[in-house]
């Protein structure tokens, strides 16, 4: 049975999961999620599902053409899976990772491996994954093969055009000090060498230190990357920095001033949330028992509709500041969190956001529309 068919069948059961034991729901969804992701990477849209968005939806950032204004967020395809699938679906770009220099197996707690649960009635989810990935060396090699296939025209002519490839990177929580920073930069150089189109630095992953964001020195990390990557990069590959949706709006000007000064090319607001009480009001009453159990037991990050207002507010403030300050180089705002419909993209456009990313919304639309999800969104 196709992965998309399984997802549609699962969507029938989803609305009732609040009736079951939270531990049962989390353990089953965590296991089945892994099975589903293993299955989906073997699947491609059929001829009737392949979609090229209207040209008026395309946009150009940093000299790269994105055929639509939305792509997957980091964490969806951690090891280079499914590039051809999302390109044929109509995604504006592909983002792999988040990757780390070393191999990471991810989190396991209370005998649950890679804890995850959806909140279907709330159009949100929680995860406590812990950056599982095969490591930068392995994934850069995989990426090199994907790019080589594209360049050798092994894919149907024209169908993968204008779908840039990006990679999300982060300093490994397993490393400390200089080793951590050097590993991060070495990984970025590997991805640059194999031909990635852009890089995104994950500066807010809530799933690596018992569910809490990392608390390292932001300036020192970003300045190290400037010295040993930005100043040495060839062809000015764009580098974006992704912050949490828990960022205070008042912090936006200072963060942008730092990125302008160090020569970064964009900002993404943002990552999942650990402000559990704040997000709880967006959780349907029938799912709050499940939500409370997950956040108290595993912590992790909240994603989906619960972040919609925060992501738009942060990005709107960032756009205002960029317009007022005009950095000396091209700089773009990317929005992640609560993107579900074309209406959300229109709101981003009206705010001046350059590009959108989705995760929870992607899988909900995949369950509803299969591989035609981008066609349905834009129609």
pLDDT tens figures, 184-211: 999 999 999 999 999 999 997 554 444 3
Residues 297/110, Cβ–Cβ less than 8 Å: yes
Q: Single out the residue of 159, 134, 144, 150 nearest to residue 49, CA to CA.
A: 159
Domain that holds residue 39: 3-378
Looking at per-residue pLDDT, the higher value among 151 and 20 belongs to: 20
Residue 15: pLDDT band (50, 70, 90) is: confident
Residues 56/129, Cβ–Cβ less than 8 Å: no
Give dist(CA 106, CA 75) in Å, integer. Answer: 12
Instruction: Count the domains in the chain.
Output: 1
Residue 17 belongs to domain with CATH number: 3.20.20.70
pLDDT tens figures, 99-119: 999 999 999 999 999 999 999
DSSP 8-state symbol, 350? H
28 membership: H or E segment, kind and range = helix 22-40
Give dist(CA 5, CA 23) in Å, integer. Answer: 26
pLDDT tens figures, 213-225: 344 488 999 999 9
């Amino acid at each position: 049975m196709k992965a998309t068919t399984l997802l549609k069948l699962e969507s029938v059961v989803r609305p009732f999961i609040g009736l079951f034991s939270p531990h049962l729901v989390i353990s089953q969804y965590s296991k089945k999620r892994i099975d589903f992701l293993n299955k989906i990477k073997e699947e491609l849209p059929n001829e009737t599902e392949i979609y090229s968005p209207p040209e008026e939806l395309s946009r150009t950032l940093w000299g790269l053409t994105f055929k639509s204004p939305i792509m997957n967020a980091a964490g969806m395809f951690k090891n280079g899976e499914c590039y051809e699938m999302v390109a044929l679906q109509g995604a504006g770009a592909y983002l792999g990772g988040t990757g780390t220099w070393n191999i990471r197996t991810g989190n396991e707690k209370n005998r649950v491996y890679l804890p995850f649960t959806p909140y279907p009635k709330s159009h949100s989810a929680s995860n406590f994954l812990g950056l599982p990935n095969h490591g930068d060396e392995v994934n850069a090699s995989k990426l090199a093969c994907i790019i080589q296939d594209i360049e050798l025209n092994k894919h149907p002519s024209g169908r993968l055009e204008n779908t840039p490839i990006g990679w999300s990177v982060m300093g490994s929580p397993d490393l400390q000090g200089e080793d951590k920073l050097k590993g991060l930069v070495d990984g970025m150089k590997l991805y640059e060498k194999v031909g990635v189109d852009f890089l995104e630095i994950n500066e807010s992953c809530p799933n690596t230190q018992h569910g809490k964001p990392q608390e390292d020195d932001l300036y020192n990390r970003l300045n190290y990357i400037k010295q040993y990557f930005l100043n040495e990069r060839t062809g000015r590959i764009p580098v974006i920095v992704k912050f949490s949706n828990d960022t205070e709006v008042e912090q936006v000007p200072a963060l942008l001033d730092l990125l302008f000064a160090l020569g970064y090319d964009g900002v993404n607001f943002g990552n999942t949330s650990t402000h559990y009480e704040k997000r709880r009001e967006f959780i349907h009453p029938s799912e709050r028992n499940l939500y409370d159990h997950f956040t108290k037991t595993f912590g992790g990050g909240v994603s989906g509709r619960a972040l919609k207002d925060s992501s738009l507010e942060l990005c709107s403030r960032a756009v205002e500041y960029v317009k007022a300050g005009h950095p000396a180089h091209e700089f773009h705002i990317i929005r992640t969190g609560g993107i579900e419909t074309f209406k959300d993209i229109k709101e981003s456009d009206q705010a001046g956001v350059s590009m959108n990313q989705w995760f929870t919304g992607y899988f909900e639309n995949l369950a509803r529309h299969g591989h035609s999800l981008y066609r349905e969104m834009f129609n």
